[in-house]
Structure 1
Amino acid sequence: MQKTISPVDGSVYLERPLATDEMTENALAKATEAQKKWKKTTVEERADFCLKAVEYFLDHADEIGLELTWQMGRPVRYTANEIRRGFQERAKYMISVAGQALADVEVEEIAGFKRFIRRDPVGVVFVVAPWNYPYLTSVNSVIPAIMAGNAVVLKHAQQTPLCAERYAEAFAYAGLPDGVFQYLHLSHEQVATVIADPRTSYVAFTGSVEGGHAVQKSINERFIVGGLELGGKDPAYVRADANLADAVENLVDGSFFNSGQSCCGIERIYVHEDVYEKFVEEFVALTKTYTLGDPLSTDTTLGPMVRTSAAAFAQKQIDEAVSQGAKALIDTSLFPAHKEGTPYMAPQVLVNVNHTMQVMTEETFAPVVGIMSVKSDQEAIQLMNDSQYGLTASIWTNDIDAALEIGAQVETGTWFMNRCDYLDPALAWTGVKNSGRGVTLSKVGYEALTKAKSFHLKIG
């Protein structure tokens, strides 16, 4: 039995039985057969089903938001917006560009021949989704996979099993043919079994680096590939010419939204020495305005972390950094709900930090950020690149030419100027180094969900 322990109050929010071997076998068999028919539908027909499913999510956004708060702890004032904003935006964009992305690729004409490249669906796509943004991460693969003519089997995190069930309800509401979308509640061992099954054609995984290695190990036994969206230690660089008020407002949000539990959240900030003291002063002042507490209250802006162990891990990084000379600028007594031994953790801002400290090099995934002073663009570039991760990075400046020049040197999947912690569905979502491999979103995101098939026809 799989239990979801709510970080809100430590109660068992729900329980779900794991799939039996027979259920898994039936799901893969059904997906394989359903996909043979589904791939014959037109892109326009697929779009009708998918848009209808999005309609279901929008109609139920408030109740979905409430159950999401109970499952993973994000304040209820924000959870419905995961559906109304990011989920809707990404789903509708990927539906809108499917026709262009999946169209036959024409090549130069040769008399007496017809030649083109067709993008065939890969088959059965296995999506393994995380708990931190359970709809935003899964929609990156689920909707495009179905739009590309594939069948989907979704395995959601143990913390957020209702998200998988909501997808099933949405597609049932849309009238999607039986078997094109299914979900399974699985253990780690069962996930490996599904990946190893020859009917699984592609794996879309979002999660930790450790989890990514496990998925890759299973994939290596077969001639298939997988998309891996893994961890991050995303940096920001504030130049001397930056609009400080704007930089502070957005970087505080980028650091602490969702209790810092975002793969592309801001975890380290480098500030030019000319504006360092003023930036830190304003950053701390804004951080102190957050309200940590019951996420079911609309007054709460910072909810609990997903579990007590996650808060303890982050606190260990803070304590280690302080023991090595870092200074913690937030008095946790300002946040009465903060309590060790619980998931409720106050935000923390650290200065006097350096790259010998784990808090500046290892993923924290918590409402914790370290801020360092730098003397030049080159020092900032060196520090931003001094990481095993490379998901996103941002620069805060009024000089777009400098932003482009610096961005060309920073090792990252996405380079932002004057914004952070956002996915534009028109752009490729990808990481480098230990942040993973592969692409979701944008027209490019359809490439991994299809396989090229060449048609070389001699006429007459």
Structure 2
Amino acid sequence: MSALKEQIFPLQIPNAKSTGEYLEVFSAYDKTYLGKVEVADKKAADQALQNASELFSSKENILTKEQRISILKKAAELIAKEKETVAVQAAAEGGKPYRDSLAEINRAIDGLQSCVEVLRTQAGVEIPMGLNTASNHKIAFTHHEPIGVVLAFSAFNHPFNLIVHQVATAVAAGCPVIVKPAESTPLSCFRFVEFLYQAGLPKQYCQPLAVKDLTIAESLVSDPRIAFFSFIGSSKVGWMLRSKLAPGVHCALEHGGAAPVLLAEDANIKEAIPKLVKGGFYHAGQVCVSVQRIFIPESLLQDFVDPFVSAVKELKVGDPTLPDTDVGPLIREKEVSRLEEWIEEAKQDPETKVLCGGKRISSSCFEPTVLLNPPVTCNVSKKEIFGPVVNLYMYSNFDEALDRANALPYAFQSAVFTSSLDTALKAFRKLKAQAVMVNEHTAFRVDWMPFGGYGDSGLGIGGIPYTIKDLQIEKLLVIHSQEL
């Protein structure tokens, strides 16, 4: 890995005393030291919440839409000027290869612009009046106001763009926000917030919070001054934190999945393979909607398997900061060990075939792996893998494939490859998913579309315009006048 400039971020909480304690950040790939962020203690965290609460308590403190638009546009411009450097830093920190990290930064810039577009087009609605005696001489319409203080806990796998979805949307909505990044990737979060400050955002409006003691974070979740809680991470932690919310607090939870793909008899295999390779091994499979389970008709098995496995074997694994790397490391060394254990478990069944991969390359990297027919009872089949592993399963009829795709408690994004409109519509109707892709991989996303899961996969819908709507109250005004 080429040398990167050390990033150091002090405590960014106005009126809080420096703790003098730092969280050091290391490369996911080779543990190179990258920088550090100052850690908040209980007093600093309480001060952050007090700052945000006091800011929101007076309507005069809320930034006007014009001010918010100016800040968001300026931040996008500042990031665009440094996007290559920011992408390398994000790649080093989180392990996503440089090409994909650069795409993430471009998405972040576009996300800021989408926030501006929402503010420019958002409008209330007129409610019909004069329809009966009670509503005569009245006019009514709605108006959007910020919901209040937002608390956001983020994840490591998109360390820059996820912060846009959780922080920039709050700024656009007019809400003060406290954001806790993933412990593995705080530098990208603090860097994004720094861009907002440079663009003119008052510090009380957005306070990044790094903690080592997770009980500090939990105490914020349960505080009644929080109006909205945004969480991206595991279902176990997400549901636990939701149970601690004060009465009336709104929330959005984005968990994981085990995304299924159904190949129909008439699927265009040649077009499907590069998409499924990308969808399965993008960011080493560490994506909540990564392709994990591919169901293949018996008649197409060999036509699909040989070229698919050949394409997977061509993927280059290594240093994520290099432009020709396809697959980077896993975020933690223990995840490499977990994958080894899960694959060994699957191999105990004689029906399981390891078509490629199956072993660690180093303490941080794992071979892109394709398994054929692992048993449904093993971990790789029934849990979210969150690693560079794709499972292939044979099926005899399409209804059977649909049932097997729906067998897990996840419901996020799924896909079907077919040339038949009827088959596509059947899959859309029957698949247990929030979104169904036709002739596209399950990890497809643009930041303005609705994005989220249900069941074990989460609660609520993300996407820039949908999140901004969630962070606002649609307030009704009714006016009575004899002149109406």
- In the superposition, the TM-score normalised over structure 1's length comes to 0.93
Matched, 1:78 2:100: yes
Q: 1:184 to 1:442 in 2, by over 3 A?
A: closer
Q: Which of 170, 173, 185 does residue 148 from structure 1 map onto?
A: 173
Query: Cα distance, 1:2 vs. partner?
Result: 2.7
Structure 2 equivalent of residue 261 of structure 1 = 286
Structure 2 equivalent of residue 306 of structure 1 = 331
Structure 2 equivalent of residue 386 of structure 1 = 407
Amino acid at match of 1:378: D
Contact 1:232 1:390 in 2 (8 A): yes
Give CA-to-partner distance per residue, 1:88-132, whole Å, 9 cap, x none: 33332233123444x222111324112123222111111111001
Structure 2 equivalent of residue 446 of structure 1 = 468
Q: 1:252 to 1:87 in 2, by over 3 A?
A: same
RMSD after superposition: 2.0
Matched, 1:252 2:281: no
Give distance in 2, aligned partners of 1:44 and 1:394. Answer: 41
Give CA-to-partner distance per residue, 1:391-411, whole Å, 9 cap, x none: 100111122332122111111
1:425 alignment partner, SS class: coil
Q: How many residues align?
A: 452
Amino acid at match of 2:176: A
Structure 1 equivalent of residue 129 of structure 2 = 109
Give distance in 1, aligned partners of 2:445 and 2:66. Answer: 25
Give distance in 2, aligned partners of 1:270 and 1:437. Answer: 27
Q: 1:90 to 1:417 in 2, by over 3 A?
A: farther
Contact 1:34 1:177 in 2 (8 A): no
The 5-angstrom pairing of residues 108-187 of structure 1 reads 108-110=128-130, 111-186=136-211, 187=213
Structure 2 equivalent of residue 53 of structure 1 = 75
Q: 1:32 to 1:331 in 2, by over 3 A?
A: closer
Structure 2 equivalent of residue 359 of structure 1 = 380
Give CA-to-partner distance per residue, 1:203-231, whole Å, 9 cap, x none: 11000112212221221x43212100001
Contact 1:354 1:372 in 2 (8 A): no
Structure 2 equivalent of residue 10 of structure 1 = 31
Query: Cα distance, 1:188 vs. partner?
Result: 2.0
Structure 2 equivalent of residue 214 of structure 1 = 240
| % identical equivalent positions | 26
Amino acid at match of 1:255: G
Amino acid at match of 1:29: Q
Give distance in 1, aligned partners of 2:110 and 2:444. Answer: 12
2:341 alignment partner, SS class: helix
Listed as ranges, the gaps of 5+ residues in structure 1 are: none
Give distance in 2, aligned partners of 1:61 and 1:256. Answer: 24
Structure 1 equivalent of residue 115 of structure 2 = 94
Amino acid at match of 2:129: E
Give distance in 1, aligned partners of 2:38 and 2:62. Answer: 35
Q: Which of 334, 339, 344 does residue 319 from structure 1 map onto?
A: 344
Give distance in 1, aligned partners of 2:237 and 2:83. Answer: 30
Amino acid at match of 1:14: G
2:177 alignment partner, SS class: strand
Listed as ranges, the gaps of 5+ residues in structure 2 are: 1-21, 131-135
Give distance in 2, aligned partners of 1:235 and 1:244. Answer: 16
Structure 2 equivalent of residue 201 of structure 1 = 227
Give distance in 2, aligned partners of 1:38 and 1:441. Answer: 29
Query: Cα distance, 1:442 vs. partner?
Result: 5.2
Q: 1:117 to 1:351 in 2, by over 3 A?
A: same
Amino acid at match of 1:213: W
Give distance in 2, aligned partners of 1:302 and 1:360. Answer: 22
- In the superposition, the TM-score normalised over structure 2's length comes to 0.89
Contact 2:72 2:199 in 1 (8 A): yes
Matched, 1:225 2:255: no
